[in-house]
Amino acid sequence: MEITPIITKDFLMFSDDETFSSVIGKLKNFEKRSGLVFKNNKYLGLIERKRLLRTKIDVTKAKIKSFVQPTPILNEHADIIESAYLMYLSNMQFLPVEREKKIYGVLNAIDLAKLGSELPEMKKAKVSDIKLIKTKSISKDDPISMVIEIMFKEKIDQVPIFEKGKLYGIVSYRDLIKKYLNWSPKREFSTKFNKEASTRSAESDTPNLANLPVSTFSTNDNLFTITKDNSLIEATSLMANKNISNLIVVSSEGVEGILGVKNILRKIGSLKIPKNFNIKFVGLKEADLKPHQTFNLKKIASNEAFKLQRQLRNEVFDLVIHLKLYHKDSNKQKYSINMRLEFPSEIVTSSESDWNFETALRKSFNNAKNKLKKKFKGDSSHRKGYE
């Protein structure tokens, strides 16, 4: 299954020479967690507003280029499992997606976790199958700086707050951003605090603000919790509906821990799907590919073959991929891909050509998938393979 259905084009773009105050204003106005940073139309990385909590600079003068976080770039046809593993390793909640070597959209970790939990291999998974995050117990009277440290150390967006051993509320990164940095709070907050945070002296006052009690920032009503017995699909659906990346897991004994989207992605990314196909490549030497190009071709072919395997409901099949260089000049080469897919009592062929061999290969696989879709249309034994 591909990530294509959950790619969104709703993202912000910044120039690397923009000031923090400009970026903060745009993130605020559009209610975004992060944005993509470019230099002369070249993608550099992400800027996350949560990271601003630790930034002690003059936001009216400092440029964002020193705080950009480099990230991997996903292809629009990337597989869910591969994407989940890459996002887990990158420790990001958003990754850019490219189409024909240009940034096309972004992928949200919450959407990816929800789609991944719907895979056949994950449909029976429960919250108890995911490793929970155990954090240091924070009292409502502790300084807010302790919460910030936990968020950065554990890479989570919500921290449970306790009073005499019982759940009192939570502090989310939204609470911190809206109140710690005067982020247009929707909840009521003290006039005195807002006045302090909006003045030019706010930077020098930051240590005092950091020592304010957690209860000043916490949300205490309408908390979203879940139990270990809930299905993972229920958990990720709640995350997607409420746009939150963590859930507090509770039981009759109290708080068990935090279910984080990162550990869900780790579970999805670690899935080992049995390989039920054989791939034979023809013409690679004649095509005069460089080592890294050969590696990319084989990797794409393997990933696409797994998608075919899902369509074929895990039937064993053989795949022959014939690459041919049929036009070459001083600047570029044109390639053709002829593909033959053979499985019990059936043969499907597909051909495509392009100046980019990777594009030709993906197009050829897409043609094969469309042919399979038409071939098994109305066949209930294969229908679920196309959902």
As for how many domains the chain has, the answer is 3
The answer to whether residues 40 and 150 belong to one domain is no
Q: Give the model's pLDDT for residue 227.
A: 96
Q: How far apart are CA 53 and CA 177, in angstroms?
A: 7
Q: Is the Cβ–Cβ distance between 234 and 211 less than 8 Å?
A: no
Q: Give the span between the Cα atoms of 240 and 120, in whole angstroms.
A: 19
pLDDT of residue 15: 94
Do 227 and 305 reside in the same domain of the chain?
A: no
Q: What is the pTM of this model?
A: 0.73
215 plus 258 within the same structural domain: yes
Residue 59, CA atoms < 13 Å, CB-side half-sphere: 21
Return the CATH number at 236.
3.10.580.10
Helices (H) and strands (E) in the chain, counts: 12, 16
Radius of gyration of the chain (CA): 25
Its domain, for residue 218, covers: 128-269
- For residue 315, how many other CB atoms are within 10 A of its CB? 15
Do 312 and 293 reside in the same domain of the chain? yes
CATH number for position 330:
3.30.160.100
User: Do 314 and 373 belong together in one domain?
Assistant: yes
Residue 227 and residue 350 share a domain: no
Task: Return d(Cα 387, Cα 385) in angstroms, integer.
Answer: 6
Using CA atoms, how far apart are residues 336 and 339, in angstroms rounded to an integer?
10
Dist. CA 284–CA 290, nearest whole Å: 10
pLDDT means over runs of 10, the chain (387 residues)? 91 92 83 90 87 62 84 90 90 90 94 95 94 90 89 83 89 75 42 45 51 86 90 96 91 91 94 89 90 90 88 90 82 89 92 91 92 75 45
Q: What is the pLDDT of residue 50?
A: 66
**Per-residue pLDDT tens for 186-221?**
333 344 444 444 444 444 444 466 788 998 888 887
Please give the pLDDT value at position 180: 57
Whether 347 maps to a domain, the answer reads: yes
Q: Which residues pair with 342 in a beta bridge?
A: 318, 347
Structure confidence by residue, pLDDT tens digits, 319-344 = 999 999 877 666 778 899 999 999 98
User: Are both 217 and 303 inside the same structural domain?
Assistant: no
- In a domain? residue 123: no
Query: Which of 82, 113, 144 delimits the end of a domain?
Result: 113
